Structure 1
Amino acid sequence: MDPKHRQILQRHRSNLVTALNPPDICDGLLSKGVFTQDMIDEIKSKGIRRDQARQLVIELEMRGSQAFPAFLECLRETGQHDLADLLQCGDGVRRPPSVPIQPSLIPLPVQNPISTAKPDRPDFTPQRLVPLRPESLPVPDPFSPSSETQGVRPTRPRRDSIQCYKMDASPCGICLIINNVDFDPASELKDRKGSDIDCDKMEKRFKALNFEVVVKRNLKFKRIRHEMSTLAKRDHSAYDCCVVIILSHGTEANHNRFPGAVHGVDGPSVPVQLITNYLNGQNCPSLQGKPKLFFIQACGGGEKDVGFEVSPDEVEPSLGGMDDQMDAIPMSSSSDSLSTSDEVDARASLPTPSDILVSYSTFPGYVSWRDTQAGSWYVENLDRVLEENAAMDDLVTMLMMVNDAVSQISAKGLYKQMPGSFNFLRKLLYFQSSPS
C-alpha cells in the first residue's frame, strides 16, 4: 500500500473502528481481489463488530497499491459515504463531479450606489458584483498566521507504519495477580487495607479483556519468586500476552533496568528487575516476541511529593480520601537489593529486554497512595480507563490517560502522585474488547 494511504488509515483508525460495518464490505473486497477468503474468515472470527473493524484495517494496511482505492469504492457501493469522504479528503482527492462547486462572489469597490439618476460624468459605469472562477481565487498559505482562521491547518508528519501485536488468542494470556494484604508483625509493615478492592477490580477487568486470571494472596518473599518461576515454566505457545499485577508495599532497590522492589508479607523485598527477568526471552522462550506487561501498585520509595503550584485552569483539583495510606518503607538494605550473584536470570549481562512494559503507580523514590475504603488511586483510574477506552486506544495511550488522572488527585489536600512506565514494547498493543 502507498505510504500516504497507510497514514490516512492510521490517522482515521478510531473513526473506522467506530463506524465501519465490516460484513457489508468484505464481499466487495473479496471480489476485487484485495482480501482472500482466509482473511475474511479471520476478520469474521473476531466476534464483535469493533474488533472486526480493527482487524480489517490492520489487514488492509498490508495489501497492495490498489487496496485503498478499492476500499473507498466498496464504502461507496455499500452506502458508507461519510467514511469514504473522510478518507478521500485525507488523500487530497476532490469530491466526485456530482458535487457542484459554487462560484464565489467577490465585491469590487463601488464609487456610487446604483440608481436611476444620471451620473455626473459621461464615462461613469456602475460597479457590480463579479463572480470569479474558483481556480482564479488565491490559494492560502497553510503556514501563514491567518490560515487557522480559514480552517487550514498543516498536518503533523507521521511514521510510515507501526505494527500491532497479535492479540486474538482465546484466552489472550495468563494474568497473575499477587495481592499482599496482611503483613507479619515482625516485618514492621502495616496491613494494606483496601487492597482487596484493587484486586477485585483488576480480576474483573482482565477477565473482561479475555485473560485467564490467577490470584495469589499474602505471598512471602520466597513464594513470590516461586510463583514467578512457575509462571515462566508454563507453556505460553497458545497465548499472545502475559500480565503480572503486584499489589504490595514497595521500596527502592539497586537496579540497572527497572527500579523498585516489592515486599513479601514476611518483610524481605523482591526487585522488580528480578520479577521481569523471569519472563524475558531467554528464561521463557514461549513468550519470545510477545508482550509481557507488569503493573506495580507499590511505593517506589519514602519521599512524599507536595507538587508545585499551577494556574487554576491548568487542572481540576481532586481530593483523595481521609483514609489515604502509603505503600512504602525506606530504601531496602543491600541484602534486599538485586545482586548479580543472586540468580542466573538476574545478571546484568542478559540482553536488553524487549516486549516488556512495566507500569508503576508512582515515580521511583516516591510514595504511592491508597484509600482504605476505595482502593488505590492508580488501580482505580487504571480500571476506569481500560473500561472506557480499551475498545479504541492502545495500551501506551491509555497509560498516559491514567498518568494524567492520578496526577490531579491530592492526598490530605497536599500530597501528589505521578505514575509512569518503562516501555520496551516494539509495537502497538490493543486489548481484546468485550461486547458492549
Structure 2
Amino acid sequence: MGRNSKSKKAEPKSFTQDTKSIDYCTTVHRDELDTITEEDLHKVLGITNRYETEKHNGCALIINNSFPTDKDLKRQGSEKDVTHMETLWKQLGCDIFNNEPYKEQTANQMRQILKDMSNPKKEYSYIVIVIMSHGGLVGDKVCFMGDDENMVYVDEIEKAFSNVYAPRLRNIPKLFILQFCCGGEKDRGVNFDNAIKRISKIQSPTQNDCVHLDGPIIPTYSDMLFAYSTHKGYGAIRDKDYGSWFITALTNVFMEFSRCESVSEMLLRVNDAMKHKSGRYKEKDGEMDEITGKVVSYNICAMSYSRNCFTKKLFLLPGYHRKK
C-alpha cells in the first residue's frame, strides 16, 4: 500500500453535485495522483463484478505522432499529452511498453507495435493503448494517420486485440484512449434554450434463428473499451500550449478519482467536463469579416464518447503494491 500523495486533495464530488465550475480540460491540476486508502481498498475488493487488478500490474502503450517537420500537420501541444499520459500510467503502476512512448511512427510501424502489444511476454491485469495523431474518415471508417501520412483503421486495432487474434488477452480488460479527429466537421454546439426535441423511429432488431452449441464459446470481441476524444465525423480539439482537451480532462479525472471509482465511472466525469468546455476558433484561411477585415471566429466544442464492452468494473488501484 502506498502512502497518500502529499499534494492537497479535494474530496471526490458525487455525480449529483455541480462540477461546471471545475475546468478539467485546460490544464493538469496536479503532479501526483491520489493513492487508494485502506477504506477505499476494502470497498473495492468487496465488489464481486470487477476485474481482478490486484494480482498483476497493467501495461500501457503510448504512441504519439506530432509531425514536427511539417508546418501544416504539426500537432503543437501534443508533447504535453505524452507527458501527461506517461506520468499518469506510471503513477498507476503500469509498465510502459518499450519503456518509453513511441513517437513519429509510420502506419505499418504502428501496426507492428500493436501486434506486438497484443501478444505480451508477461501477465498483466489490464492493457492500455493510447494513440495520439491526426485522424478522420476514409469512407465511413474512422482512422488515424501514421508519420508517413498513411492511415490505420480503428477496426484494425479492434481486430488485433480480439479474442481470436489476442488469445493471451482473453478476459483481460483493454482500454483504448484515442486522441485524434474522427472527421472534418467542427462542432459549433447547440443553443440549449432553442434546442428542438426530435423523436426518431426505433426499428426492432431482426431476430435470427439460433443454434445451441454444447461447448462454451465467447464472442469475438469482448472486454474492450474505446474512449474517443470526439464523435464520428467531428474534429478533436488541442491547445498548442497545454495539450488536448480530452487527454487533459482524462488525466485530471483519473489522477483525482481512480482511488475510488471504476474506469467507466471516471469516463462519465470526462464526458461531463468535455460537455461544459468550449472555446473560440478561427480557420487559417477562413471567411473574412466584411467590416473588420479579420478572419471570422466562432465558438467550438468537442464531445468525447466511449464504446464499452467491458463485462466487469475496472478499478486501477493507485498506490497498491502488487507482487512482482
TM-score normalised by the chain length of structure 1: 0.53
Unaligned runs of 5+ residues in structure 2 are 1-12, 15-34, 195-217, 281-297
1:169 is the counterpart of 2:158: no
Q: Distance in 2 between matches of 1:219 and 1:56?
A: 39
The correspondence for 2:261, drawn from 372, 393, 397, is: 393
**In the aligned structure 2, how far is the partner of 1:191 from the partner of 1:248?**
10
**Partner Cα separation in structure 2 for residue 273 and residue 207 of structure 1:** 28
Q: Distance in 2 between matches of 1:397 and 1:254?
A: 33
Aligned residue for 2:222, secondary structure, equals coil
Equivalent of residue 57 in structure 1, options 43, 46, 52: 46
- Partner residue of 2:114? 228
Work out whether residues 44 and 315 of structure 2, in 8 Å CA contact, stay in contact via their aligned partners in 1. no
Q: How does 1:251-266 map to 2 (within 5 A)?
A: 251-254=136-139, 260-266=142-148
**Structure 2 residue identity aligned to 1:396:** S
**1:34-87 deviation line (CA, Å, top 9, x unaligned):** xxxxxxxxxxxx9851453125523xx6xxxxxxxxxxxxxxxxxxxxxxxxxx
Please tell me whether the aligned partners of residues 184 and 265 of structure 1 are also in contact (alpha carbons under 8 angstroms).
no
Partner of 2:135: 250
Q: Is the 8 A contact 1:51 1:432 kept in 2?
A: no
2:79 corresponds to 1:196: yes
Q: Which one-letter code corresponds to 1:265 in the other structure?
A: D
Q: What letter is aligned with 1:216?
A: Y
SS of alignment partner, residue 50 of structure 2: coil
In structure 1, C-alpha distance between the alignment counterparts of 2:319 and 2:144, rounded to whole Å: 32
Q: CA deviation at 1:386?
A: 0.3
2:237 corresponding residue in structure 1? 369
Relative distance call for 1:183 and 1:251 in structure 2 (3 A) is: farther
Deviation digits for residues 254-278 of structure 1 (CA, Å, limit 9, x no counterpart): 56xxx51110011011011101221
Compute the displacement of 1:434 (Å).
Answer: 2.5
Scaled by the length of structure 2, what TM-score is found?
0.70
How far apart, CA to CA, are the structure 2 residues paired with 1:191 and 1:299? 14
Q: How many residues align?
A: 245
Moved over 6 A (4+): none
Amino acid at match of 2:180: A
Match in the other structure for 1:276: 158
SS at match of 2:46: helix
Q: 5+ unaligned residues in a row in structure 1: which ranges?
A: 1-13, 16-45, 62-162, 313-349
**Residue of structure 1 aligned with 2:125, choices 215, 224, 240:** 240
Q: Residue 381 of structure 1 corresponds to which residue in structure 2?
A: 249
Identity %: 30
1:216-255: CA deviation from partner (whole Å, max 9, x where unpaired): 011011110010111123234x211111000100111456
If asked which structure has higher relative contact order (CA below 8 Å, sep 6+), I would say 2
Contact 2:50 2:315 in 1 (8 A): yes
CA contact (8 A) 1:299 1:362 kept: yes
Q: Within 2, Cα distance between the matches of 1:402 and 1:204?
A: 18
RMSD: 2.5
Distance 2:253 2:221 in 1: 27
Paired residues of 1:297 and 1:361 also in contact (CA < 8 A): yes
Shift of 1:383: 0.3
